[in-house]
Amino acid sequence: ASRTRVVYGGADPARFSPHPETTRRGILFVGRLTPHKGVDRLIEALPPDAGLRVVGSAGHDRDPPEREYPKLLRRLAAQRHVNFLGVVPEPGLPSLYRNAQVLALPSVQRTCYGREVEISELLGLAAIEAMASGTPVVASRLGGLPEVVEDGVTGFLVEPGNVNELRARLAQVLGDRGLAARLGRNARERFLERITWEASDERCLAAYSELVGTPAR
């Protein structure tokens, strides 16, 4: 472990950035519509009258019962304020991030079908892009997410699959615009400090320089 260095991916701070005149609203999810992403838990956890926009592609699961997951999501979303946007082209993503009040990443290790997933989340590109956009993140405490989302600073971390805790944290951010703004500012600052492509380059150069014993330029 002492010889291990982590070089995170990044995002473009110019492309993904907040806009001071934007009115933020609702919850955003960005990711594949597959059971280990936990979108079913997210829909169940929606606070009263909260709106959710779901961005992502379906059809990733070929075998039953998982292949029926998109239909399950639509059944759960009935009578709720949920909008399935499908696949959004890359140019459309920045505005979605900057218009959201909070990004939710409710990934789970045990799906709604009872299947265990060894690695359900690596780093969470959506978390990075949201943070760059000044958007707080409420995410499951698993995989690489706790390495980029600071609990109580840039968003909140919740126990995977805990619907009540997820609902409480989402309601907290949605119900307190001052808190949401503070978390969003912190998220943008942490992103600029640690997770831009420039910062990734610097980590790469530092790791290579350490290996060959010469200072990084």
Q: How many other CB atoms are there within 10 angstroms of residue 83's CB atom?
A: 11
Pick from 77, 66, 72: nearest CA to 36: 66
Per-residue pLDDT tens over the stretch 140-158: 999 999 999 999 999 999 9
Average pLDDT for residues 184-200, to the nearest whole number?
Answer: 93
pLDDT at 211: 85
**Percentage, residues of the chain above pLDDT 70:** 98
Average pLDDT for residues 63-80, to the nearest whole number?
Answer: 96
Pick from 94, 93, 95, 103: nearest CA to 183: 103
Cβ 57 vs Cβ 33: under 8 Å = yes
pTM of the model: 0.93
Torsions phi, psi of 191, nearest 5?
Answer: -60, -50
pLDDT at 6: 84
Mean of all residue pLDDT scores within the chain: 94
